[in-house]
Amino acid sequence: MLSATETYYALDAMVLEFNRDELKALTPLLIEALEDEKKSRWLHRRWMSAATALMKLGPEAKPALPVLIKRIDCQNIGVQRIVIMVIGSIGGPEARKAVPKLKEQLKSPDPKVRRFTTEALRRLGQ
C-alpha cells in the first residue's frame, strides 16, 4: 500500500500525465482516495487530485458517484466545490440521484458552491 505522500504524488501524476484509458483503469484507486476519511495533511490534496482525474473521465467515472454524492455536503468548501463539479461532469441517470442534495447547496453561503451547483443541476437537466 502507498503511503499518504506517495498516494498524493501518484494522484497528481495521474491527472497530469495519464490518458483517459489509464485513468479509467485506475478508477478504483481514485474512488479509494475519495473514501479516505482520515484527517491528514494530504487528504485535501488527494481529494482534489482524485476528483480532478474523475472529472477528466466524465461519464466513465460513474462508479465514483456513490462516494461523490455522499460528499456533497462536505465541510471543506474546496472539496465540496470540486465534488459538485465532478457530479455535473459525469451526468446521466445515476448522477441525477444527487439532485436533492445538490438543491440544498443552492442555499450555501459560498457563491462558488452556488454557481457550481447551478451548473451541475443544469447539466443534469434540472
Q: Hey, what's the cell of 90?
A: 459525469
**CATH number for the 4-123 domain, one of 1.25.10.10, 1.10.238.10, 1.10.3720.10, 2.60.120.10?**
1.25.10.10
**Residue-range domain boundaries for the chain:** 4-123
Please tell me what DSSP assigns to residue 109: S
CB 39 within 8 A of CB 72: no
Give dist(CA 118, CA 57) in Å, integer: 21
Report pTM.
0.79
Could you read off the pLDDT of 26-36 as tens digits, one per residue? 788 878 877 76
Annotate 92-106 with b (16+ C-beta within 10 A) or e (fewer): eeebbebbebbeebe
Q: What is the pLDDT of residue 54?
A: 86
Could you read off the pLDDT of 34-86 as tens digits, one per residue? 776 665 555 666 777 778 888 888 899 999 999 999 989 888 888 888 899 99
Cα end-to-end distance, the chain, whole Å: 41
Q: What is the pLDDT of residue 91?
A: 92
